């Protein structure tokens, strides 16, 4: 096998990381800001570029969300589209709001039926007003979906249909990117998106609390497909590999599910847990392998079950316990910016070799100053870049814009008139896309070690 010379490695690294710094430090084409007149909610939709006449990216709602978060995520979406198509720009919506905190402020007791009903009503009202505000973009050039705190099936699709008469949340991309579609082609594209995103996913070993759909499983499935493709490049499989998963929502929960079905042992999982604002961390650990199916059956929303319901789970404020078992794989699938310098040390101590980034922009940024000042975009980028360099020298990293592009690929596949809008067809297309992306990233086993992150930046950043 041919090995790269030291000078070639240096040139590739400089190219990749310099591209990252330039791309993520640049200003986006457009940011729309919104201030809710009923609550304290603030929101931003960032459009990094109207490439190909459109931009796409999901809508998230969380307390502490920021404008720069929207900008970072919009840029990440643009790189994802370079991997999985369509050839459009990146966008993202971030709403700074916690409906549970708002319900608590009204004096309701967390966890009670009245509290949960009020949280749902507050959240629904904020999203209705938000989507009305960004309707012109959603109708003409911007497509969205679910993200942290916002469910594709339960929130985005029904609210946009009812509130702003949107055929599908991706309608703006279809209009902007495919302007030559005939009326019939446009209707077929919207119909496929509607049917395909909600197409039933048959999971007979999980409880049917609701009908599982493509929207539930696509991203977690894509993460595991990227890992499987990586190990195939080494002539190996996922069977017997040990994995740590951070997060237990749509991405982390189904990454754990599909890792289990691939024969891997999931030895540790974390999620948000108890407390009025769900700030207490829950961690499940078993060095012989967790019962993933049992944890999913007992899952409370997007959280692990309580310690009372499952003795493998502990609840507290510290996260080091997540890395207390030796493992081969780490899947960050919680919030953005969770990988700090301390995380890198813990992963090394746990003998982790491979990271599949299920969360967008996983590397940490500096916290706000005591007076609430957020560092400028260039400083945030520099901090992420330093951590990325450090991690890239220690682990084989499948970056977020590859591992996390399952749902973006789903939308692209379903936009093309004539593609079958069934779950098996969608998942097969995601697998094929991951296989191609990882094969390009890892052309042979000699290229399968450290340095994948900078190589990916060289390949996929504009």
Tell me how far apart the alpha carbons of residues 110 and 107 are, in angstroms, rounded to a whole number: 9
Which residues in the chain come in under a pLDDT of 70?
Answer: 1-14, 208-210, 274-279, 317, 371-374
Beta pairing, strands 281-285 & 313-316:
antiparallel
CA–CA gap between residue 380 and residue 265 (Å, rounded): 35
Q: Which of 381, 365, 460, 373 is closest to 27 using CA atoms?
A: 381
What is the pLDDT at residue 6? Answer: 42
Give pLDDT, residue 451.
93
Sorted by where each starts, the structural domains of the chain and their CATH numbers stand as 26-180 (3.40.50.10860), 214-460 (3.40.50.720)
pLDDT per residue over 94-133, tens digit each? Answer: 999 999 999 999 999 887 899 999 999 999 999 999 999 9
Helix (H, G, I), strand (E, B) or coil at 163: helix
- Type and span of the H or E element at 79: helix 67-84
The residues that bridge with 44 in the sheet, in sequence order, are: 33, 94
Cβ distance 307 to 314 under 8 Å? yes
Q: What is the pLDDT of residue 1?
A: 37
Tell me the C-alpha distance between 310 and 303, whole Å: 12
Q: Which residues contact 41 (CB under 8 A, 6 or more apart)?
A: 35, 95, 96, 97, 126, 130
Looking at residue 25, its pLDDT comes to: 85
**Beta-carbon contacts of residue 180 (< 8 Å; ≥ 6 apart):** none
Query: Exposure pattern of 98-119 as b/e (b: 16+ CB <10 Å)?
Result: bbbebbbeeebebeeeebeebb
């Amino acid at each position: 096998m041919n090995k790269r010379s030291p000078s070639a490695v240096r040139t590739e690294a400089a190219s990749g990381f310099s591209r990252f710094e330039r791309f993520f430090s640049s200003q986006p084409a457009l940011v729309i800001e919104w201030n809710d007149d009923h609550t304290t909610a603030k929101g931003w939709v960032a459009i990094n570029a109207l490439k190909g006449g459109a931009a796409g990216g999901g809508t998230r709602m969380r307390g502490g969300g920021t404008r720069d978060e929207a900008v970072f995520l919009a840029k990440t979406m643009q790189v994802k589209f370079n991997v999985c198509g369509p050839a459009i720009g990146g966008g993202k919506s971030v709403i700074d709001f916690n409906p549970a905190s708002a319900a608590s402020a009204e004096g309701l007791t967390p966890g009670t039926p009245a509290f949960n009903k009020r949280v749902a009503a507050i959240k629904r009202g904020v999203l209705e007003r938000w989507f009305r505000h960004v309707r012109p973009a959603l109708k003409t050039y911007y497509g969205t979906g679910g993200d942290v705190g916002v469910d594709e099936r339960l929130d985005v699709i029904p609210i946009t249909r009812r509130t702003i008469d949107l055929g599908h949340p991706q309608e703006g991309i279809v209009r902007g990117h495919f302007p030559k579609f005939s009326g019939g082609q446009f209707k077929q594209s919207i119909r496929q998106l509607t049917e395909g995103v909600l197409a039933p996913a048959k999971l007979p070993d999980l409880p049917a609390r609701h009908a599982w759909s493509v929207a539930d499983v696509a991203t977690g499935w894509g993460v595991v497909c990227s890992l499987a493709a990586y190990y195939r490049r080494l002539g190996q499989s996922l069977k017997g590999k040990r994995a740590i998963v951070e997060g237990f929502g749509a991405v982390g929960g189904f990454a754990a599910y599909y890792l289990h079905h691939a024969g891997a042992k999931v030895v540790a999982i974390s999620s948000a847990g108890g407390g009025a604002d769900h700030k207490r961390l829950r961690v499940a650990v078993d060095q012989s392998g967790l019962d993933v199916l049992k944890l999913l059956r007992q899952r409370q929303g997007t959280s692990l079950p309580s310690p009372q319901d499952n003795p493998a789970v502990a609840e507290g404020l510290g996260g080091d316990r997540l890395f207390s078992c030796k493992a081969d794989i780490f899947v960050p699938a919680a919030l953005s910016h969770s990988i700090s310098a301390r995380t890198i040390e813990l992963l090394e101590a746990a003998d982790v070799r491979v990271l599949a980034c299920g969360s967008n922009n996983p590397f940490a940024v500096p916290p706000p100053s005591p007076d609430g000042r957020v560092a400028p975009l260039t400083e945030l980028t520099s901090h992420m870049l330093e951590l990325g360099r450090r991690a890239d020298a220690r682990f084989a990293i499948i970056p977020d814009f590859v591992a996390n592009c399952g749902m973006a690929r789903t939308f692209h596949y379903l936009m093309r008139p004539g593609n079958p809008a069934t779950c098996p067809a969608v998942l097969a297309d995601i697998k094929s896309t991951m296989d191609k992306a990882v094969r390009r990233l890892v052309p042979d086993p000699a290229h399968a070690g450290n340095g994948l992150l900078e190589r990916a930046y060289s390949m996929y950043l504009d």
